[in-house]
Structure 1
Amino acid sequence: MAVAAVGRGASCNAAARDLGCATSTVVSAVRRYREAGRGALRDRREGNGQRKVDERFRERLTRVLQRTPEDWGWCRPTWTRELLCLELERRGLPQVSVATMGRALTSLGARRKAARPIVQCPWPAWKRRRRLYELKCLHAHKPPEEPVLHVDEVDIHLNPKVGHDWCLPGQRRVVVTPGNNQKRFLAGALNVRTGKLTWVEGKSKASDLFIQLLWHLAGEYRRARRIHLVLDNAAVHTSQKTRKALAQLGGRIVLHFLPPYCPQGNRIERVWLDLHANVTRNHRCRTMDQLMVRVHAYLAARNAQRSASPCLRRADLRRTA
């Protein structure tokens, strides 16, 4: 294709740009064609021997990537392509170049990702699994008149969360931060069966915010015999003020606590991640009131459209305000 493009009058640079290859590749192909004709254009890698990156190679590479270099005896916490070449060679596989290792990683769909920090649950594994199974059974066996909701709080910062965005080559998105950070807090409850989100807003993350949510749920689900809340072990969920509020509600609301440091068991965590992705990441609101208008508009649209990324325009924000 390079030789044909040059034969039609294109320059080597233009042919390389159209084919997405290096200019030296086009120059080399044209030179071989002029010196030896069409036979010189045949793929000369046929005599390279057996292919090194085969299914066995990919299988071993997958097994190596499932653990860290320290697990395999190396004094380094993260993988590099060079280190992967050495580890696979140590396992008796053929020696490959760094570029070949990069292509092998691409064929597996492997990508460089940021690590996800977590706090280890102090409970034994069997006890944690049993508690999560009990909560799963709670969702499956409770009747419709006893709704099960996942509850959690989220911080809304005026200083934006900085994240990735699509940009043209040579450009980079600029986000101006207000400087003096401000905070608002939401307490929300996600109905597991219907997907409906109920939330309240406050200026502090104290027991009063959670109690406000309890009374709001009691009014919204006034026909429910009992409301089951799945939540974490935050102090506001077990404070003396919270216990008094639960007693005033006559036992209509029952709290079911997750194991410590198990956010993956709380389904509302996914809602807060979507909220940050759709509203707070790279936002350009200059005041907290502007940002909260967008937060409430997004959550209302999520309930109405039953979508994690509902379609919103500025007119929708004005109606919400």
Structure 2
Amino acid sequence: MDRAGLRLKPMKQQAKAGDIRLLFADESEAPTHPYLARAWAKRGADLRIPAPGQAMKIAMMGALDFAANHLTVTTSRTKRSTDFIDLLSEIDRIYGPQPGKLHLPVVLVLDNGPVHTSKLTREALAERAH
């Protein structure tokens, strides 16, 4: 097990015990226009398949609640810090303090991707450090 795995093990145990909310967050993209990676054709043939629309991508920002196995996802056209902050707002809405409910500390595990380390994101995370 690597060092990160060793640091996460106690947090995973805390999450399973119901002491914290352990969230793993990241982002990805999905193409909205299908494409063919491989196809059969006669040798030398110019293979073209008409498809309507423009090739675009949808960015997905998500956070997985480790213990509850609950996935929170936001989508946008871009993968920018502001889009990641939208995910943080959704996490606030779901896991933030609510009247009559037990509030658990939230631990958010991120990689060092640009949207996670930008100045804007660091400021948004600092606002939530309480």
Where on the TM-score scale, by shorter chain, does this alignment land: which range? 0.7 to 0.9
Verify: 1:207 aligned to 2:86, yes or no. Answer: no
**Does residue 157 of the first structure (1) align with residue 31 of the second (2)?**
yes
Query: Distance in 1 between the 2:95 and 2:80 partners?
Result: 23
Distance 1:162 1:149 in 2: 35
Partner letter of residue 237 of structure 1?
H
Shift of 1:180: 2.9
Gaps of 5+ in 2: 38-48, 98-102
Residue ranges of structure 1 left out of the alignment (5+ in a row): 1-127, 164-174, 253-321
Q: Distance in 1 between matches of 2:50 and 2:26?
A: 30
3-state SS of paired residue (2:125):
helix
The 1:182–1:140 alpha-carbon spacing in structure 2 relative to 1, beyond 3 Å, is same
Is the Cα–Cα contact under 8 Å of residues 158 and 178 in structure 1 kept in the other structure? no
Deviations 1:52-97 (A, max 9, x none): xxxxxxxxxxxxxxxxxxxxxxxxxxxxxxxxxxxxxxxxxxxxxx
Question: What CA distance in whole angstroms lies between the structure 2 residues aligned with 1:133 and 1:191?
Answer: 19
- 1:107-118 superposed matches below 5 A: none
Give the deviation of 1:233 after TM superposition.
Answer: 1.2
Aligned to 2:119: 240
Task: Identify if the C-alpha distance between structure 1 residues 129 and 176 changes in structure 2 by more than 3 Å, giving closer, same or farther.
Answer: farther
Measured at CA, do residues 176 and 195 of structure 1 come closer, stay the same or move farther in structure 2, by a change above 3 Å? Answer: farther
Question: Per-residue displacement from partner, 1:140-191 (whole Å, max 9, x unpaired)?
Answer: 134524200111111021222658xxxxxxxxxxx86446311111101111
After TM superposition, give the deviation of residue 203 of structure 1 in Å.
1.4
Q: Percent identity over the alignment? A: 32
Q: Distance in 2 between matches of 1:228 and 1:191?
A: 10
Q: Which residue of 1 aligns with 2:8?
A: 135
The corresponding residue for 2:93 is 219
Q: Which residue of 2 aligns with 1:146?
A: 20
SS in structure 1 opposite 2:2?
A: helix
Contact 2:14 2:20 in 1 (8 A): no
TM-score by length of 2: 0.74
Q: Secondary structure at the match of 1:205?
A: coil
Question: In the alignment, residue 138 of structure 1 is paired with which amino acid?
Answer: M
Q: Are residues 1:183 and 2:57 paired?
A: yes
Q: Tell me the TM-score normalized by structure 1.
A: 0.32
Once the 2 structures are TM-superposed, how far is the Cα of residue 231 of structure 1 from its aligned partner? 2.2
2:40 aligns to what? none
Looking at structure 1, the residues matched to 86 and 19 of structure 2 have their Cα atoms a distance apart, in angstroms, of 22
Alignment partners' CA distance in 2, 1:152 and 1:214: 12
Letter in 1 for 2:11: L
